[in-house]
Amino acid sequence: MSSKSNKRDTSFWDKHRNKVFSKRGGWVIGKGVFNCGYDMMHDLVGEKSYMQVIILNATGRLPDRKLADWFEAVHICLSWPDPRIWCNQIGALGGTMQTSVVSATVAGVLAADSKGYGTKPLVAGVSFIQKALAAYTDGLSVAEIVSEECAKYGGKPIIMGYARPIAKGDERIEAMERVSKSLGYSVGPHLDLAYQIEQMLLDKFNESMNINGYMSAFLSDQGLTPEEVYQICAVLVNSGVTACYLDAYGRAGGAFMPLQCEDIEYHGKPARGLSK
Amino acid sequence: MKKAKKVIRRDDPYAKKISTKIWHEQPSEQNPYIAQQSRCHGYDLIELVKERSYIDVLYLLFRSELPTKEEAVIFEQLLISFINPGPRHPATRSAIIAGVGKTDPVHILPIALSTLSGNFQGAGEVEPAVRFLRKNAKKPPEQAALALLDGAAKPAEGDWSIAPGFGSYYGGVDLMAEQLAQQLVALPGCGKLLSWGDEFSRALHDHQMGWLKTGVAAAVLADLGFLPFACASLYQLISAPGLLAHGLEYCKKPMSSYPFPEDKDYVIEE
């Protein structure tokens, strides 16, 4: 463990020391701003939609306008101004604390980096349907796929992309089916399998697909990986959080769901004194 | 396309109230929103303020009991050990950039702690490190090291993390992590995971690996009984003072006081 003898090879760090290496591009002062080979001010600004550039930054590939428009629509589906939703409530609590809009919005976005809702379940949803299609192609039946997934949770219908908390059914799927149709998309093999799985769950458990399931299958049909979907959707919930923040911010400080002392249920240690 | 299905509310049982074992607020008789007394795990806060140290109350808050003398000593020394990741650390540099960038100072800490959440030698590595230590602590440390090294290949670039919380640091043994571990191992409050980790670390030295700071923190916190997922967050808490101090140090400095690489040092790779 001597720090003096046998000087170590630090060439990897020496190469990177005080230097920036970028595969994406950057600002070449006097020449322009470059992004994945595109000249941003000429090729992108005014030529491509904001969502196309978001996807370019998230994946390194510029998608066609149609896919970007689909993503824009699904962002509307997944961010509502209802402060009962967990991430939105954090926005509202920021509002009632009179934080800055950026602070509250970013806090809400960070909250949605959750395994329970928001962005991380998309990784699980896309992974599930891609593995399921591979298994289906290899000969597993839809019933077997459903049975294997449910077996992981003691036979309960817990499959990522199906069922949802609070309510049964998902109005967002109908809206996105409409968008997909209007953009000229047809049902691909992942979405087709997702519908078959849904039918099986409806028949056996009266549970249907949720927006995660629809989105995961649709985007798998567009060739995206789970990680790419997660990256594109990094700030998925931001606008609903901002709306909830502003609603609370516009009222007197502390007006959002104030609690009396007795609104908290204490079930810890009884009152005790310090031994001297 | 299928027909739309009706959306109906489930009758899931959601709690009517927030519940806690940690804190009890006694309302004033005149105003139910104002607490006239607060208790932490049963102890009156005013009494704690008068009678106990910050370390004791911090431990109480998370572990529900006050620490023994030995626990308090090692916990306090751990908190001092990792009070500052240092100015080269990516999380500290995030704090400095926030400071020099004239970001609202109240944002410095959340920004820096977000960077510190990372899995590479950050808080994100602490929970896996606790799980690794717990899983392996019954094996002889040297054998565990040999088993991991057997067939393992050093990465072509960057550091080699042979196990969460253990590995190389800039290509060598992290000397500060080792020295801090030695200090903590020598305390009467040293637990079995810290002790095991120390032997495991020594078995890695010939391969230019050893304790990482995250591993030391993981071992001490787990020995003290903190849950694995809590250890990661506590590592952020422990490092917060240093991050904030460096960020605040830069608040009053001009933006030009932080390096902006020259064009020749900005390499766009094809």
- ipTM, two decimals, is 0.91
| Cβ–Cβ below 8 Å for A166 and B12 | yes
| Length of chain B in terms of residues written | 270
Same domain, B123 and B185: yes
The share of chain A scoring above pLDDT 70, in percent, equals 97
Give chain B's mean pLDDT: 96
Same domain, B245 and B221: yes
| Cβ–Cβ below 8 Å for B17 and A265 | yes
Residue A163's pLDDT is what? 86
Identify the residue whose tokens are 């932490």: B40
In a domain, B14, yes or no: no
Test the B interface: residue of A19, A269, A276 with most B CBs within 10 Å:
A269
Mean pLDDT over B67-81 rounds to 98
| Cβ–Cβ below 8 Å for A22 and B33 | no
Same domain, B121 and B71: no
At B139-168, the pLDDT tens digits run 999 999 999 999 899 999 999 999 999 999
Separation CA B241–CA B244 (nearest Å): 5
SS3 B155: coil
Report residue A29 as tokens. 């002062």
Mean pLDDT over B30-38 rounds to 98
Whether the per-residue pLDDT at B2 is higher than 60: the answer is no
Whether the per-residue pLDDT at A145 is higher than 80: the answer is yes
In a domain, A83, yes or no: no
Residue B42's pLDDT is what? 98
Least Cα separation, residue A68 to chain B (angstroms): 22
- Specify whether the CB–CB gap between A147 and A125 falls below 8 A: no
Number of folded domains in chain A?
2
Same domain, B54 and B107: no
| Cβ–Cβ below 8 Å for A263 and B12 | no
Residue A2's pLDDT is what? 47
- Specify whether the CB–CB gap between B264 and B256 falls below 8 A: no
Instruction: Report residue A251's pLDDT band, with 50, 70 and 90 as the boundaries.
Output: very high
| Cβ–Cβ below 8 Å for B261 and A18 | yes
In a domain, B17, yes or no: no
Residue B26's pLDDT is what? 98
Q: Smallest Cβ distance to A261: which of B32, B259, B268? A: B32
Same domain, A222 and A142: yes
> Which CATH number covers residue A127?
1.10.230.10
At A129-140, the pLDDT tens digits run 999 999 999 999
In a domain, B241, yes or no: yes
Whether the per-residue pLDDT at B237 is higher than 70: the answer is yes
Same domain, B64 and B99: no
Number of folded domains in chain B?
2
Residue A75's pLDDT is what? 97
Residue A8's pLDDT is what? 82
Same domain, B226 and B97: yes
In a domain, B114, yes or no: yes
- Specify whether the CB–CB gap between A158 and A152 falls below 8 A: yes
Q: What are phi and psi of A234, to 5 degrees?
A: -55, -40
Residue A46's pLDDT is what? 98
In a domain, B263, yes or no: no
What kind and span of H or E run contains A38? strand A38-39
CB < 8 Å to A169, chain B: 5-8
Residue B238's pLDDT is what? 98
In a domain, B260, yes or no: no
Least Cα separation, residue A253 to chain B (angstroms): 14
Residue B270's pLDDT is what? 77
| Cβ–Cβ below 8 Å for A268 and B20 | yes
Same domain, B225 and B130: yes
Whether the per-residue pLDDT at B4 is higher than 80: the answer is no
- Specify whether the CB–CB gap between B165 and B215 falls below 8 A: yes
Give the closest residue to A273 by CA, choosing from B56, B61, B22, B45: B45
Q: Smallest Cβ distance to B20: which of A100, A170, A266? A: A266
- Specify whether the CB–CB gap between A172 and A215 falls below 8 A: no
Whether the per-residue pLDDT at A192 is higher than 80: the answer is yes
Same domain, B109 and B199: yes
CB < 8 Å to B34, chain A: 261
At A201-224, the pLDDT tens digits run 999 998 899 999 999 999 999 999
In a domain, B215, yes or no: yes
Same domain, B198 and B143: yes
Mean pLDDT over B39-67 rounds to 98
Report residue A147 as tokens. 């049975």
In a domain, A168, yes or no: yes
Whether the per-residue pLDDT at A195 is higher than 60: the answer is yes
> Which chain B residue shows the shortest CA-CA distance from A107?
B110
At A54-86, the pLDDT tens digits run 999 999 999 999 999 999 999 999 999 999 999
Residue B5's pLDDT is what? 62
Q: What is the 3-state secondary structure (H, E, C) of B192-222?
A: HHHHHHHHHHHHHHHHCCEECHHHHHHHHHH
CB-defined contacts A:B, below 8 A: 140
Mean pLDDT over B211-224 rounds to 98
Least Cα separation, residue B136 to chain A (angstroms): 24
Q: Smallest Cβ distance to A20: which of B20, B210, B267? A: B267
> Which chain A residue shows the shortest CA-CA distance from B210?
A1
| A260 or A163: which leads in pLDDT | A260
> Which chain B residue shows the shortest CA-CA distance from A275?
B51
Report residue A201 as tokens. 């769950």
Same domain, B60 and B183: no
Instruction: Report residue A4's pLDDT band, with 50, 70 and 90 as the boundaries.
Output: low
Residue type, B85: P
Based on C-alpha coordinates, what's the Rg of chain A?
24
> Which chain A residue shows the shortest CA-CA distance from B259?
A18
> Which chain A residue shows the shortest CA-CA distance from B29?
A261
Q: Which domain holds residue B56?
A: 35-81
Residue A5's pLDDT is what? 57
CB < 8 Å to B25, chain A: 261, 264
Least confident stretch, A204-208, B193-197, B216-220: A204-208
| B14 or B101: which leads in pLDDT | B101
Same domain, B73 and B175: no
Strand partners, B19: A265
In a domain, A46, yes or no: yes
Same domain, B40 and B165: no
| Cβ–Cβ below 8 Å for B41 and A268 | yes
Q: Which domain holds residue A214?
A: 120-232
In a domain, B45, yes or no: yes
Strand partners, A266: B20
Least confident stretch, A112-116, A179-183, B192-196: A112-116
At A6-22, the pLDDT tens digits run 688 899 999 999 999 99
Residue A25's pLDDT is what? 95
Report residue A85 as tokens. 């939703």
Mean pLDDT over B34-48 rounds to 98
